[in-house]
Amino acid sequence: MGSRNSDEADGLFHKDRHVHGGMPEKYLDDDALAHEAEDERVDAGLDPFNPDDVPPATDTPPLDTNIRDTEQYQEERAEIRREEDKGELLIEGERAPFPPARYDE
């Protein structure tokens, strides 16, 4: 199982052990070195995958507005206040003492 950049990486890295391993003639990118090292870990079976090759998450970002600022929240709150003012709002677990004499809606 080879890495997707193995041809490109072969040109950047010297794998000949007879060549001095000191400072390279041209500077290598640290990110490219880290990516190649992770690919080698995957090839050796030490890691199941290279995290750099995983696409970003597709979750939608959280809302940037407060829920209380939405129109739906304002409408629902107004309805609760209207029912509370008319005595129509029941608390959970309570029963209405009797049915209303007439229905508004």
Would you give per-residue pLDDT tens digits along the chain (105 residues)?
444 555 555 555 556 666 666 666 666 678 888 888 899 999 999 989 888 888 877 777 777 778 888 899 999 999 999 988 887 777 777 776 667 677 776
Residue 75 in domain: no
Report the 10 Å Cβ neighbour count for 36.
21
Residue 90 lies in a domain: no
2, 8 Cβ separation under 8 angstroms: no
Say how many domains are in the chain. 1
| Cβ-contact 86, 92 below 8 angstroms | no
Residue 44 lies in a domain: yes
**CB atoms inside a 10 Å sphere around CB 14:** 13
49: containing domain: 6-53
Q: What Å distances lie between residue 83 and 27, 67, 76, 87, 94, CA to CA?
A: 73, 22, 11, 6, 15
What integer pLDDT is reported at residue 31 of this predicted model? 84
pTM, entire model: 0.32
Task: Assess if residue 79 is contained within a domain.
Answer: no
